[in-house]
Amino acid sequence: MKKTVEIIGVPLDLGANQRGSNMGPTAMRIAGLHSKIKGLGYEVHDDGDLFVPVRETLPETCAQEKYRNNIKEICENLAEKTFQSMESERTPITLGGDHTLAIGSISGISRHLKKQGQELGVIWFDAHADMNTPDSSNSGNIHGMPLATFLGRGHEELVNIGYEGPKITPDHVVLIGIRDLDGEEQRICKKSGVRYYTMREIDERGMLQVMKEAISIVGSTTSGIHVSFDLDGVDPLHAPGVSTPVDGGLTYREAHLALELIAESGKLISMDFVELNPMNDKGHMSAKFFVDLVQSTLGKSII
């Protein structure tokens, strides 16, 4: 882990119907993100948020296409930002915003590694698989498609952000904590080649064994691990401030243990923390919890 991190805010809520996640980056900063990271011995760079248009200022044609062209432009800018961050030997931490932004962040990081003939591994924490395609999605909302997109399936203009074609191979992706998939997405997930751990498997085997296996899968044949953490992967009891809460998620300690183990692996090179929705939070507890999770990912330990 590089000792200089770069905070990249992406106040994006165009990928979903539920509003409010665009306020996530600000809420995390107010919750003490910078001071907590500096307390771990890191230098912090933060150039503010990428520009994201307010949907009310956009024409109706944008809404009809589910803001696809707007999302393309935002993710292209983010891909360039994460690429330059990696080129500058910083650790990019992307703050969301809805999970659509991962199309951009992962594209930039993958591009950096591809230049060196290397591959990226991804550990994706989420209640949902995010593997829908335009053909399978009932809503057409792009925040349900980012994982499928960087695997090479989806809107062509989004698949080709950063460079043409898939950014990650299925055997370099692990899904943690899924528990809410529609029927068609279940079929896609089973056929994808991605290793997924449902909440039932986590219950049966325990988070320690699951994470040891997950880190081995994505870390043994890649040059680095990217963590993409959707806060709805955590049980709403601990993190109510999300747009799409699903009961039965990761506990407080399971979430921290998972990220602590990734930090200890020495393979972590970049991360997203997404889907914090302050509109649904209670006493800012979710924002504070998310900041705590960032600290665990950066190596904070009890002793």
Q: Is 143 a catalytic residue?
A: yes
Q: Is 112 a catalytic residue?
A: no
Q: Is 184 a catalytic residue?
A: no
Q: Is 226 a catalytic residue?
A: no
Q: Which of 13, 49, 254, 275 is catalytic?
A: 275
Q: Is 292 a catalytic residue?
A: no
Q: Which of 232, 254, 260, 272 is catalytic?
A: 232
Alpha-carbon torsion (84, 261, 23, 232), positive or negative: positive
Tell me the C-alpha distance between 111 and 198, whole Å: 30
Q: For residue 271, list its beta bridge partners.
A: 93, 227
Q: Is 256 a catalytic residue?
A: no
DSSP state of 23: G
Tell me the C-alpha distance between 298 and 271, whole Å: 10
* Radius of gyration from C-alpha coordinates of the chain: 17
Q: Is 130 a catalytic residue?
A: yes
Q: Which of 112, 128, 172, 226 is catalytic?
A: 128
Q: Which of 126, 185, 260, 272 is catalytic?
A: 126
Displacement of CA 185 from its chain's centroid (Å): 19
Q: Which of 143, 155, 172, 256 is catalytic?
A: 143
Structural tokens at position 23:
């306020």
Q: Which of 13, 49, 99, 119 is catalytic?
A: 99
Q: Which of 76, 98, 130, 185 is catalytic?
A: 130
Q: Is 180 a catalytic residue?
A: no
Give the position of tokens 């219950």: 203
Tell me the C-alpha distance between 109 and 102, whole Å: 10
Q: Which of 98, 119, 230, 272 is catalytic?
A: 230
Q: Which residues are marked as active site?
A: 99, 126, 128, 130, 143, 230, 232, 275
